[in-house]
Structure 1
Amino acid sequence: MESDSSCEVLVAGPYFADLVFHGLPRPVQPGGEVFADGFALVPGGAYTLAMAVHRLGRTAVWSVDFGTDVFSAEVLAAARAEGLDERAFRHHPSPVRSLTVALSGPDDRAMVSYQDRVTPAPLVPLLRRHRPAVLMLPQLHWDSPTLTALEVARQLGTLVVQDCHDVPASLTDPAVRRILAEVDVFTPNAAEALHLTGATDLDDAITELAALVPTLVVKRGADGAVALRSGKRYDAPAVPVRAVDTTAAGDCFNAGLVHGLLSGHDLPTCLTIATTCGTAAVTAPGSSAALHAADLENRPERLPRAQ
């Protein structure tokens, strides 16, 4: 297969159409009704990763499946409006619906999602064709094809950055540990880190995960983020802002992190860029407030503290 080396970042993951109800005055209870202050239909899922790294000036290829449904059409139109590379887009003659209803209140959000089943494109041919500097995976998978793909990524010298995404995984499963052994940068949020390890204390969870991956980055929402590499820990505070919706914050954080890594910055600076991108994302519904490269120059930077 002919290779194409014009790809800095390969993003592999499904789109989501995010139906965001924001400004809820209180949580929604069964049998009750709450009126939101605002509503937006915003492209999300792996679209956010691809769009956000593209806005930061990186050449990105996104492997995704679209169908004949209105949600596919909405996200495809947004991807084209952003100028995303379409070489790894697959179009199916049937619906490929993938959507999330996000209910965002002042402190947190609840989500309900639905996906039509579709087998994603195999990762190994994509890696061999595009030979990316970075492979971004939005969700933790621990099946044999994923393990093979990550082994190929290592052979190609591709940096693997993987998120967790609230999956029913546990470190008690040897297959999960084998997958994490092939990951270069693992980026769960605090709740995911606790669930994955079974720990009740976040610092204990961080310590256990940091022993499994070369670089661990844990997102802590309004408390910022923490990163560990080679026994050194860096804590980055979040910049205080008025949060409208947190749906895309983690993906925009990851995009900023990858941008920093590709720029050759040290880990504290990468963490600062990541928190800046993640913080900006919460100021508008879904992924709509993802930063452009020029925006970073106008944002305050606070270097994380080393411990």
Structure 2
Amino acid sequence: MRKIIVIGSSNTDMVVRVPKLPLPGETVLGGDFLMNLGGKGANQAVTTARLACPTVFISKVGEDVFGRMALEQFDKEGIQTDFVFTDSQHPSGVALINVDRRGENCISVASGANASLLPADIDKAAAVFGSDDIILMQLEIPLQTIEYVVNKFHKTGATIMLNPAPATQINIETLRNITIITPNETEVETITGVCVQTEEGLREAASTLKETGIKNVVITRGAKGAYVLSDEFEGIVPAQKVKAVDTTAAGDCFNGALAVALLEQKTLKSAVEFANKAAALAVQKMGAQSSIPYRRELDI
């Protein structure tokens, strides 16, 4: 059976709603507090599972209450957790999040056990990888692990999808073996050095990435939709217009939904439309995993 293998982080998010995001040295009195399971990898795995796709999650948590809570939730979601490893030396990852009245956020992350997810852990899970699978990764785990996965599994024919968040420079040898990359506007500027405030800039940045050997480039733009460059389609796919309450997991939801649509062999343009719809539903709720929609909500 074809499946999605998500390799990435698991965090516990501590969220405070504030009237505005604080400036350096400023204290802003907030309102509601929410503790929610998160982490880019975990959010994406929950998305693919809720959208009715077989999902394997490869991650690492601490031997603490946050790690136990995460494992219990993954089991409830129907995610295969055989390769969510426990680290006795480091705590589970934690993210501190402020969300303002427009739904914009700022996030600080203590990586904890996520930083010890290493190539040796990938080898322990090697038997689960299939040539028809989609491998979905982000950058909240060590870059050496990302590079190891790409170099090890691109030869098998598996689809390798990288959400390069948070933004960092990536080795060009790694980039050329990626099937699809999904940076946001900030991330694509960091990777390519190209300003993307215009459609010409978007095209130049996407072309720069495609020239490395990446087959498909999707630049996510929040409420402005996504810019797509591939052999089958080029252009902007507009987002649905909704009132955002919290954008914390919108990008993760988009990526998980995009992977599901591609596994179901939708065209890239149709897959981006599906992902936009999922992300639009997510931003209308507070929290990370608590905001991620179920398949029945998208099929309405």
Distance verdict in 2 for CA 1:76–1:28, change over 3 Å? same
SS at match of 2:80: coil
> In the TM superposition, what are the counterparts of 1:151-166 in structure 2 within 5 Å?
151-166=151-166
> Partner of 1:289 in structure 2?
291
Match for 2:276: what amino acid?
A: T
Mapped contact 2:250–2:283 kept (Cα < 8 A): yes
8 Å CA contact 2:4, 2:55 repeated in 1: yes
More helix by share: 2
Tell me, which stretches of 5 or more residues in structure 1 are unaligned? Answer: 1-5, 171-175, 299-307
Counterpart contact for 2:167–2:186, Cα < 8 Å: no
Q: Against the structure 1 CA distance between its residues 80 and 107, is the aligned structure 2 distance closer, same or farther, given a 3 Å change threshold?
A: closer
* 1:134 and 2:129 aligned: no
Q: Does 1:217 align with 2:218?
A: yes
- Conserved? CA contact 2:6–2:44, under 8 Å: yes
The separation in 1 between residues aligned to 2:86 and 2:149, in whole angstroms, is 23
Closer, same or farther in 2 for the Cα pair 1:141/1:206, shift >3 Å? farther
Could you tell me how far apart the structure 1 residues matched to 2:258 and 2:49 are?
13
1:14-65 C-alpha deviation (Å, 9 max, x unpaired)? 201111223x222212343323332211111111111110111111110111
| Distance in 2 separating the partners of 1:26 and 1:60 | 37
Percent of pairs identical after alignment? Answer: 22
CA contact (8 A) 1:69 1:95 kept: no
Whether 1:87 and 2:86 are equivalent positions in the alignment is no
- Given the alignment of the two structures, is residue 196 of structure 1 paired with residue 191 of structure 2, yes or no? yes
Match of 1:234 in 2: 235
Q: Distance in 2 between matches of 1:183 and 1:257?
A: 15
Q: List alignment gaps of at least 5 residues for structure 2.
A: none
Tell me which residue corresponds to 1:245: 246
- Report the TM-score, using the length of structure 1 for normalisation: 0.86
Answer yes or no: is the 8 Å Cα contact 1:104–1:110 preserved in 2.
yes
Aligned partners of 1:247 and 1:287 also within 8 Å = no
Deviations 1:156-208 (A, max 9, x none): 221000011123316xxxxx211110100000001100111111234232231
1:32 corresponding residue in structure 2 = 26
- 1:147–1:92 distance in 2 versus 1, CA, 3 Å: closer
Q: Is residue 140–residue 167 contact of structure 1 (8 Å, CA) maintained in 2?
A: no
SS at match of 1:199: coil
Moved over 6 A (4+): none
CA-atom RMSD in angstroms: 2.2
The TM-score with structure 2 as length reference comes to 0.88
CA contact (8 A) 2:63 2:87 kept: yes
Number of corresponding residues: 287
Distance 1:33 1:145 in 2: 37
- Letter matched to residue 149 of structure 1: V
